[in-house]
Amino acid sequence: MTDERLSRIRAALIGLLSVGVGLAAGQLVGALRNPATSPVLAVGSAVIDRTPTSLKDWAIRTFGSNDKPVLLASVVVAVLVVAAASGLLARSRPWLGAAVQVAMLVVAGYAVLTRPFAAASDLVPTVCAGAVSIAALFVLLRLAAPSPGPQGASRRTFVAAAGGTAALAALGVASGRAITDSRSAIDVKLPAADPAAPALPAGLDETVPGVTPLRTPNSSFYRVDTELSVPNLSASDWKLTIDGDVENPYTISFSELLRRPLTERNITITCVSNEVGGKYAGGATWRGVLLKDLLAEARVKNPDRPDLQVLSTSFNGFTISTPLGAMTDDRGAMLAIGMNGAPLPREHGFPARLITPGLYGMLGCTKWVTRLTVTTYADRKAYWTKRGWTTDGEIKPTARIDVPAGLATVKPGRVLIGGTAWAQRRGVVGVQVSIDGGPWTAATLGPDVNVDYWRQWYYAWQSSWPGQHSVRARVVYGDNEIQTSARAGVFPSGSSGIEERVFLVG
Ligand SMILES: Nc1nc2c(c(=O)[nH]1)N[C@H]1C(S)=C(S)[C@@H](COP(=O)(O)O)O[C@H]1N2
Ligand SMILES: [Mo]
């Protein structure tokens, strides 16, 4: 009886170890070619692309920016369950166990091949993963088979083999990661922009502890995209093609781009998935070439037609729709190559991305962009459009409270309440706060950078009674318009409503 149980545990372990070392081999071979083609990442991406919007929304709400690690972990757990099952089946019929592993491979292979722009050679990591896992399955089964020798000896052999397999798997994953890291250094020197963006003032960073810094450092800039591994493009291979309904389609390389006049502007971008009070917004100095100029050279056919859009495509087929007008008017939409004085970090689109002031990121900020196609909304649908999100996505003006933190306890006396507010294309002209449901009162504003940049604010409140208090904040923008109190969730066109925060005086 005990023997029976033990061997089941062993069998399950053999399943886990063999699939584990196979997947590690897949990661390693993937790292050598293209990490996105490793079986784990390919299945993860396939799941992302096929997840219904409501579930994705729920995942972002529940796990925040951990939604991807959680997704990957779920894929891995599912794989481990099947892997253990393959070991258990292999106990009596080895070929059945192997067949289960082959079935897993077919699923992974399908995920690899249904990626946009997939090539047959992308199957290499998956095939390696399969070969290693099935070989490991048979080797471990043989080593674990009861032998006529003393009990202790066969156990030692199995433990050594199992430990060795686990170590190999760990080594595979670690070297895969090391390879990816070593390949991701960026050595590009950007020419200066002329004129350079006005230097950002000091803002309220020092005066109001806890307020959002006026400039978001690249390392803490929010990241939202559908990629599971950070794309690793090379500037020398990169090209941008402008085509579609244009008289003069053309392609431009990175070095040609660097020889063009570069502009620079301070712009705050925002994600449509940002909840009221959320963190998916960031302000940076972007350097690049005006899209207006690039598109003028392509000469759009009948540019006054309604319904015209620019469908931008990233290196792997992800697409975004931007109204043509937002790229050709004078708001300064750009093909950006620099962020806060440095080349774009890989996470933020290296070597080039779009920045369109005033529109949510999913409508004008394509990272790793390689193609701009002038077309109509009727003819082509972008990634998020197919999933029900709006194509008309002006960023909704909002104020955000940064301090005090929710449910924080503050000392009685002078309480500094502060935050940031944005109203791209319109400009922040005021922020008002209401304490404990009282009248709306003007807060003090930080420096005005430009209409497309966020503005810090604070309000020094003399605390009344000890205990629980609440503060609300709303932005006043453009022509003295006031932020709406109407609540909306993020789907399909961005959240609205007024943030309220509770804190304690004690
Ligand atoms: N290629 C690509 N570009 C993309 C996305 C994406 O998923 N893939 N996401 C968009 C969204 S939803 C947002 S909000 C911005 C975020 O840019 P950031 O990650 O640099 O902050 O990128 C946009 N560009
Ligand atoms: Mo977004």
Assess if residue 440 is contained within a domain: no
CA of 67 relative to ligand 1 center, distance in Å = 15
Q: Report, as an integer, the average pLDDT of 417-439.
A: 98
**Residue that is last in its domain, among 353, 387, 421:** 387
pLDDT digits (tens, 9 = 90+) for 97-108: 999 999 999 999
What's the structural domain count of the chain? 2
Residue 452 DSSP class:
T
What is the C-alpha to C-alpha distance for residues 62 and 429, in angstroms, rounded to an integer?
Answer: 34
96 belongs to a structural domain? yes
Residue 306 lies in a domain: yes
Q: Ligand 2 center to residue 414 CA distance, Å?
A: 37
Structural domain contains residue 94:
yes
| Stronger pLDDT, 89 or 145, i.e. the higher one | 89
Does residue 224's CB lie within 6 angstroms of at least one atom of ligand 1? yes
Average pLDDT over residues 331-346: 97
pTM of the model: 0.87
On whether both 174 and 299 belong to a single domain, the answer is no
Q: Are residues 250 and 211 in the same domain?
A: yes
Residue 275 sits in the same domain as residue 351: yes
**pLDDT 10s digits, 137-194:** 999 998 888 766 666 777 888 889 999 999 999 999 999 989 888 877 788 999 999 9
133 and 48 assigned to the same domain: yes
Q: Is residue 426 part of a domain?
A: no
Kindly state whether residues 53 and 177 are assigned to the same domain.
yes
pLDDT surpassing 70 at residue 302: yes
Looking at the structure, do residues 209 and 329 belong to the same domain, yes or no? yes
Q: What is the overall mean pLDDT for the chain? A: 93
Is residue 286 in contact with ligand 1, taking CB distance under 6 Å?
Answer: no
Domain with residue 264: its CATH number is 3.90.420.10
The pLDDT of residue 2 is above 50: no
Residue 293 has a pLDDT of 98
Q: Is residue 365 lining ligand 1, measured as CB closer than 6 Å? A: yes
381 lines ligand 1 (CB under 6 A): no
pLDDT at 54: 77
Of 410, 379, 428, 439, which Cα lies nearest the Cα of 502?
A: 410
Same-domain pairing of 166 and 220: no
Q: Please tell me the predicted confidence (pLDDT) of residue 48.
A: 84
> Cα dist. 354→160, 319, 338, 349, 366 in Å?
53, 12, 11, 9, 5
Q: Which ligand is nearest to the CA of 269?
A: 1
Output the CA 273–ligand 2 centroid distance in Å: 6
| Cβ(318) – ligand 1 distance below 6 Å | yes
* Closest ligand 1 atom to Cα of 314: 1
Range of the domain at 18: 8-182
> Is the pLDDT confidence value at 474 over 60?
yes
Rounding to the nearest 10 degrees, give the CA dihedral for residues 157, 163, 169, 174. Answer: -140
Tell whether 194 is covered by a domain: no
Among residues 335, 370, 387, which one ends one of the domains?
387
CA–CA distances in Å: residue 464 to residues 75, 139, 407, 412, 470: 52, 74, 17, 8, 12
Closest ligand relative to 281 C-alpha: 1
Under 8 Å between Cβ of 254 and 352: yes
Cα(361) to centroid of ligand 2, in Å? 5
Q: What is the pLDDT of residue 1?
A: 39
Task: Say if ligand 1 is within 6 A of residue 346 CB.
Answer: no
* C-beta 226 within 6 A of ligand 1: yes
Same domain, 327 and 364: yes
Q: What is the pLDDT of residue 12?
A: 94
221 lines ligand 1 (CB under 6 A): yes
Ligand 1: does its nearest atom lie under 6 Å from the Cβ of 279? no
Query: Does 364 sit in the ligand 1 pocket, CB within 6 Å?
Result: no
Query: 2 lies in a domain?
Result: no
Question: Do 160 and 35 fall within a single domain?
Answer: yes
pLDDT at 65: 66
Which range in 66-75, 110-119, 137-146, 401-410 is most confidently predicted, on average pLDDT? 401-410
Strand intervals (E) in 352-498: 353-355, 369-376, 398-403, 409-410, 414-422, 428-435, 441-442, 444-445, 455-462, 467-477, 481-482
- Domain end point (choices 370, 387, 404): 387
Whether residues 164 and 237 fall in one domain: no
Supply the pLDDT for residue 53.
Answer: 76
Ligand 1 neighbour 136 (Cβ under 6 A): no
Q: Indicate the pLDDT class of residue 394, thresholds 50, 70 and 90.
A: very high
The larger pLDDT score, comparing residue 392 to residue 284, is at: 284
Going by their DSSP bridges, the two strands 334-339 and 353-355 should be labelled as antiparallel
Q: Which residues are CB-neighbours of 447 under 8 A, at least 6 positions away? A: 201, 202, 203, 214, 455, 456
Do 279 and 372 lie in a common domain?
Answer: yes
CA of 460 to the centre of ligand 1 (A): 36
Q: Identify which of 45, 225, 491 to mutate to test ligand 1's pocket (most ligand atoms within 8 A of the CB).
A: 225
> Which pLDDT tens digit goes with each residue over 21-79?
999 999 999 998 888 899 988 998 888 888 887 787 777 777 766 777 888 888 889 99
Does residue 302 sit in the same domain as residue 335? yes
Provide the H-helix boundaries in 34-52. 39-50
What is the identity of the amino acid at 424? Answer: Q
For ligand 1, atom 24: residue with the closest CA: 366
User: What is the number of alpha carbons within 13 Å of residue 89 lying toward its C-beta?
Assistant: 13
- Give residue 117 CA to ligand 1 midpoint distance, Å: 19
**What mean pLDDT comes out for the span 91-98?**
91
Task: Note the pLDDT of residue 285.
Answer: 98
State the distance from the centre of ligand 2 to the C-alpha of 461, rounded, in angstroms.
Answer: 34
Nearest CA to ligand 1 atom 7: 225
Range scoring the smallest mean pLDDT among 6-20, 330-344, 491-505:
6-20
Does 218 map to a domain?
Answer: yes
